Structure 1
Amino acid sequence: MSVVAENLVWGVKRRTIVADVSLTVASGETLGLIGPNGSGKSSLLRLLAGLRSPLSGRVEINGQDIAQVSRKALSRQVAFVQQSAATDTNVTVADVVCLGRTPHRSALAGWSEGDEAAVNRALDRVDMASRRKQAWQTLSGGERQRVHIARALAQSPQVMFLDEPTNHLDIHHQIEILRMVRDLDVTSVIALHDLNLAAMFCDRIVVLEAGALRASGTPEEVLTQDTLREVFRVTAHVSGASANGRPHIRFISD
């Protein structure tokens, strides 16, 4: 399922946060959003997912303007994974993942075999089936992120938007989660801080600076020494294609 954004503009009061951004994500593609802090990555993700309405411009998912789609109908197609979530409620892993079935159920409908099957599939895909009865509060940060993704998968989405899903995780869990997302049979848009992880796991990358689209293309096309210097204000050496066919960035201290 494809995602197309045309001339998106959004801001608060007199401050423009997303400035005339247009992009296309092909069906099944993993697109990375990178940029300095405050570049508009999270705001753009929420516009693409329909969680915010642009001041101007439009977003189409599979050729349909999402402004013309109800929130519940859109939630059957699109899932959003935020950076982190906390709760003091005494819930289990399964309780959290079951929330992903909300868009598919009416107010009076009971829990169905289809709902249970969707939850089980989601837990299996993130390797958390054995933890389904475990209390949420006892999970590690990486395990909680996998449960967040399982809840999104329980929606049976065709598009996933993920806002810094590896934030505050150790490198093992960062790689584990991004590999899992890349291997899912969905279209994905992921905001990331780590440029080498973006190079490893994204088919294409969009660079944002001050809310505007600065560069777009494959990791090899986008992650250049000039772009890193001009946008991120760092000096770096970018090697040629590594063993996995992706560039590698080595930052150089002054």
Structure 2
Amino acid sequence: MNVVAQDLRWGVKRKTIVSDVSLTVAPGETLGLIGPNGSGKSSLLRLLAGLRRPLSGRVEINGRDISKVPRRALSQQVAFVQQNAATDTNVTVRDVVRLGRTPHRSALSGWSDADEAAVAAALDCVDMTGRRAQAWQTLSGGERQRVHIARALAQTPQVMFLDEPTNHLDIHHQIEILRMVRDLDLTSIVALHDLNLAAMFCDRIVVLDAGSVRACGIPDAVLTQDLLRKVFRVAADVSASPDAGRPHIRFRTE
């Protein structure tokens, strides 16, 4: 499914947080949202996922205005992975992933073979099948994030939105999570802080600054020394990597 945003604007009180943002995400593409703190990444992600209504503009998924799609129907197509989802409830990994089937089930429906198959496939996709009976509280941070993604996959979505999915993870788990997201057969839009990870794993990158799009394109066209200085206010050397279109950024201290 493709995602198209047209002239999105959103804010609170008198402060504009997302300002006239337009973008298009192709089916199967992994789009990265990057920008300084407060640039509007999380807010834009929630607008695109239909979790917030814009003050103006529209979002279309596969040609349909999502404001006119019933919430349950939208949740069957779109999944959202938060930065940090936590629970104090004593639940297993499988219990958490089963929650992803909620949009597909009515209040009176029983647990079906299709539900079970979706949960099993989601656990297998994130390599957590062997941990399905393990208590949530015993998981590491990287394992929990994989379970969050499995819960989203259990929705059988066609578009996935991820808000800082590698936040607070060590580098091994950061790479593991983003490689897994990139390899999914889905359209993915992911907000990231780490610019080198965005360059490694995203097909295209949108740079936000003060709620507006400053640049959009493939990583090596977007992540330039000039943009890093103007938007992120850092000095850096940008070099080519062996992967075409995948630059490497080395930040300077001066």
Q: Structure 2 length as normaliser, TM-score?
A: 0.99
Paired residue for 2:166? 166
Paired residue for 1:10? 10
Paired residue for 1:61? 61
Which amino acid counterpart does residue 247 of structure 2 have in structure 1? P
Give secondary structure in 2 for the equivalent of 1:190.
strand
Residues of 1 paired with 2:90 and 2:181: CA distance?
Answer: 28
Give secondary structure in 2 for the equivalent of 1:54.
coil
Task: Answer yes or no: is 1:243 the counterpart of 2:242.
Answer: yes
Give secondary structure in 1 for the equivalent of 2:220.
helix
Shift of 1:86: 1.0
Pairing 1:131-210 to 2, within 5 Å after superposition: 131-210=131-210
Which amino acid counterpart does residue 236 of structure 1 have in structure 2? A
Give secondary structure in 1 for the equivalent of 2:234.
coil
Shift of 1:46: 0.1
Contiguous gaps of at least 5 residues in structure 1:
none
Paired residue for 1:220? 220
How many residue pairs end up in the alignment? 253
Residues 60-82 of structure 1, C-alpha deviation per residue, up to 9 Å, x if partnerless? 00000000001100000000000
Q: Structure 1 length as normaliser, TM-score?
A: 0.99
Paired residue for 1:126? 126
Paired residue for 2:114? 114
Shift of 1:243: 1.7
Residues of 2 paired with 1:168 and 1:100: CA distance?
Answer: 24
Residues of 2 paired with 1:64 and 1:222: CA distance?
Answer: 29
Residues of 2 paired with 1:142 and 1:97: CA distance?
Answer: 15
Residues of 1 paired with 2:88 and 2:118: CA distance?
Answer: 26
Residues of 2 paired with 1:9 and 1:92: CA distance?
Answer: 40
Residues of 2 paired with 1:102 and 1:244: CA distance?
Answer: 40
Residues of 2 paired with 1:114 and 1:156: CA distance?
Answer: 11
Give secondary structure in 2 for the equivalent of 1:244.
coil
Residues of 1 paired with 2:29 and 2:147: CA distance?
Answer: 22
Give secondary structure in 2 for the equivalent of 1:79.
strand
Shift of 1:201: 0.2
Which amino acid counterpart does residue 163 of structure 1 have in structure 2? D
Residues 202-233 of structure 1, C-alpha deviation per residue, up to 9 Å, x if partnerless? 00000000001110000011000000000000
Give secondary structure in 1 for the equivalent of 2:148.
helix
Contiguous gaps of at least 5 residues in structure 2:
none
Paired residue for 2:85? 85
Shift of 1:249: 0.3
Give secondary structure in 1 for the equivalent of 2:59.
strand
